Structure 1
Amino acid sequence: MCGRFALYSAYPKFATKAGAPTISEELTPRYNVPPGTWITAIRRLSEDEPPHVEELWWGYKPRWAKGKASQPINARAETVATSGYFKAAFQKHRCLIPADGWYEWDKTTTPKQPHFICREDREPLFFAGIYTEREDGSLGCAIITEPARGSAHKVHDRMPLILDDESLEPWLDPDLSDQETLRNVVHHIDAGLITHWPVSTKVNRPNGPGDESLINPA
């Protein structure tokens, strides 16, 4: 799964790679991003417009899902295209969630040991996401997950679906809705690029944006 991540790279470092226009506004570095908060995302409304960066609510609940309907933060790659809850968003409302890494907890230790997982070269990551209009008119999103690969598998059995650079443009294409075509043009990054290390249990308490000490090796 993915229930906590960090985004501290400067805006141009990830926005330019996703094809979004450069803006002068600086984003506040966040070293401990929890669910149920506004997070930075990239989406594209039409082929005539470039992708743009905006804030989406991390929690997916379509407008038509009333009352106590679930508000998942993740959607499984194996079923996102066919699930009644997610398939409309998968076809038309895909987004990217930029991150510098994410946290998982090793359940084999007592207490559970948190790890920070990222690229070996420390380049930003792009999680595949979907979004929907919520009951209040705002947009909520979920991060797509897949079975853990490479080094990440040593910590947890699931991980975010991280797209390679060539997949960013087709993933954001609102006119690309065929499931088989998407499978052929969208790919996750090489598992060999992923590394991880144990970090302080301070990350267990998502109070504010945190600081760089949260990702230092414990």
Structure 2
Amino acid sequence: MCGRFALYSDFPSLARSLKLPLAEGELLPRYNVAPGTWITAVRRHDDSAQLALDALWWGYRPHWADDKAPQPINATVEKVATSPYFRGAFAHHRCLVPADGWYEWLTVDGRKQPHYLTRSDDEPLWFAGIWMERPDGKPGCAILTEPARGVAQAIHSRMPLILDQQSLEPWLDPELTDRETIRQRVHHLPHDQLTHWPVSTRVNKPVEDDPAMIEPVS
């Protein structure tokens, strides 16, 4: 799954990779991004064909759902295209969530040890996501997950769906709505580009947020 991640790459580097227009302001580095907060994402608004770096609420609940409906932070690749709860967003409201890495917990001797997973070349990651207007009128999103691959398998059974550079544009293409077509055009980042290391249990507390969060511990 993906329940905590870090994003500390600057706005210009993210914008350049997707050829986004530069805007005023900057992204504040976050080393412990938790669910139920505003996160940075790339999406197209319904009334615009232009891509935008935007703020989405990390918690998905479609506008037609009632107040008791779930607010998942993740959607599995196995069900996102067919589940009535997600399929509309998968077809028409896909987004990208930039990250520099994410956290997973490995049980060792009865204790959960957090690990930080990231690219070995220090380039940003792009998580595949879906979004939908929530009942309160604000946009909410979920990050797609898939079975863990490569070194990530040693830490957790699932991982975020990370797209390679060539898949970013097709994933955000509003003309692509068919599941099989999307599967043919979109590919995940090769697993041999990932690495990980154990980090402090401070990450367990969402209020903790500083560069030391991603430093290796023995």
Residue 18 of structure 1 and its aligned partner are, at CA, apart by: 2.0
**Distance verdict in 2 for CA 1:50–1:109, change over 3 Å:** farther
* Cα shift readout 1:62-118 (whole Å, capped 9, x = no counterpart): 111102111000000011000010000000000000000000000244320000000
Partner of 1:90 in structure 2? Answer: 90
Give, in angstroms, the shift of residue 47 of structure 1.
10
The percent of aligned pairs where both chains have the same amino acid is 59
Q: Which residue of 1 aligns with 2:184?
A: 184
Output the amino acid matched with 1:82.
Answer: T
Superposition TM-score, scaled by structure 1 size = 0.96
Distance of 1:149 and 1:47 partners within structure 2: 37
CA distance in 2, matches of 1:163, 1:142: 15
Match of 1:184, SS state, is helix
**2:121 alignment partner in structure 1:** 121
Deviation at 1:169, TM superposition (A): 0.4
SS at match of 1:62: coil
CA distance in 2, matches of 1:45, 1:182: 20
- Count the aligned residue pairs: 217
Change (3 A) 1:21 1:109: farther
Q: Provide the residue aligned with 1:71 in structure 2.
A: 71
CA distance in structure 2 between the partners assigned to 1:198 and 1:86 by the alignment: 33
Unaligned runs of 5+ in 1: none
| Per-residue deviation, 1:8 | 0.3
Q: Which residue of 1 aligns with 2:58?
A: 58
Q: Is the 8 A contact 1:21 1:50 kept in 2?
A: no
Query: Given residue 188 of structure 2, which amino acid in structure 1 is its aligned partner?
Result: H
Q: Hey, what does 1:166 align to over in structure 2?
A: 166
Q: Say whether the 8 Å CA contact 1:19–1:50 is kept in structure 2.
A: no
Gaps of 5+ in 2: none
Cα separation, partners in 2 of 1:116 and 1:109, compared to 1, 3 Å: farther
Give the aligned partner of residue 42 of structure 2. 42
After superposition, the CA RMSD in angstroms is 1.4
SS at 2:17 equivalent: coil
CA distance in 1, matches of 2:71, 2:173: 25
Q: CA-to-partner distance for each residue in 1:28-72, whole Å, 9 max, x for gaps?
A: 100000000000000124797331101000000011110211100
Which residue number corresponds to residue 142 of structure 1?
A: 142
Within a 5 Å distance, the mapping from 1:186-201 to structure 2 comes to: 186-201=186-201
Paired residue for 1:216?
215
AA in 1 matched with 2:211: E
SS where residue 89 of structure 2 aligns? helix
**Residues 138-157 of structure 1, C-alpha deviations (whole Å, 9 max, x = no match):** 00000000000011111000
* 1:46–1:175 Cα contact (<8 Å) kept: no
Structure 2 residue matching 1:112: 3-state secondary structure: strand
Structure 1 outlier segments of 4+, above 3 Å: 45-49
